[in-house]
Amino acid sequence: MLGAPGSGKGTQASALGKRLGAAHVSSGDLFREEQGNGTELGLLAKGFMERGELVPDEVTINMILGRIKRDDAAKGYILDGFPRNLAQGRALDEALASAGEAGIDSVVFMGVSETELMKRLGGRWLCRAQQHPYHVVSAPPKVEGICDIDGTELYQRSDDSEETARRRLEVYNEKTVPLVDYYREKGLLVEVDGERSIEDVGKQLTAVL
């Protein structure tokens, strides 16, 4: 799943994984898991993420390759947040080929305007327990500040501040946009309108995949 921060790729990847019986592999969730456990990897990643910058490629690549070897990914997986640049895309292709595994089947690109992205990022909140996403405008919780699903407190990540959000979009435009062209040239890219409702985007994905 490719798309700018705030494009909704995480929400759609999770739902799509459940429909297909595939593992939802989120690089952001994996890094936060490491941070929560206080590991060296987590502390390293934290500084980059809070500045809205990408974690170094070699760290991310090794982490993702380890994740897709878990049992729940045996029937397939959906990558969310990785790869984010050409080096990672090529490294992923090489790693899968070296392991004798099938390559990527499809690459979904969630198209959303920068104006809409800033609106979404500034109002995004997550629950403490499972990172369930909410938005003050488009997807508010039933009770302010409380997760509908598990009842835990909602919080706003430091990397969702306006200043950091703008920096994240700058990094995305510089590093990730060329990856869209890379997959388009390989004939793998599937484009969807990420500005439609969550339900409509899900229907688009189901139809095209």
Residue with tokens 């390759």: 65
Residue 159 has what pLDDT?
67
The C-alpha atoms of residue 205 and residue 209 are separated, in whole angstroms, by: 6
pTM above 0.75, yes or no: no
pLDDT the model gives residue 138: 76
Query: What would be the CATH architecture of the domain defined by 2-208?
Result: 3-Layer(aba) Sandwich (3.40)
Region of residue 189 (left: phi > 0; alpha: psi -120 to 50; beta: else): beta
Reference 95, options 128, 127, 63; nearest CA is: 63
- Residues designated catalytic: 9, 84, 124, 157, 168
Element (H, E) at 40: helix 40-50
Position 37 scores a pLDDT of: 84
Low-confidence stretches of the chain (pLDDT beneath 50): none
Q: What's the confidence (pLDDT) of residue 96?
A: 84
What span, in angstroms and rounded, lies between the C-alpha atoms of 78 and 13? Answer: 6
d(CA 76, CA 24) in angstroms, rounded, equals 9
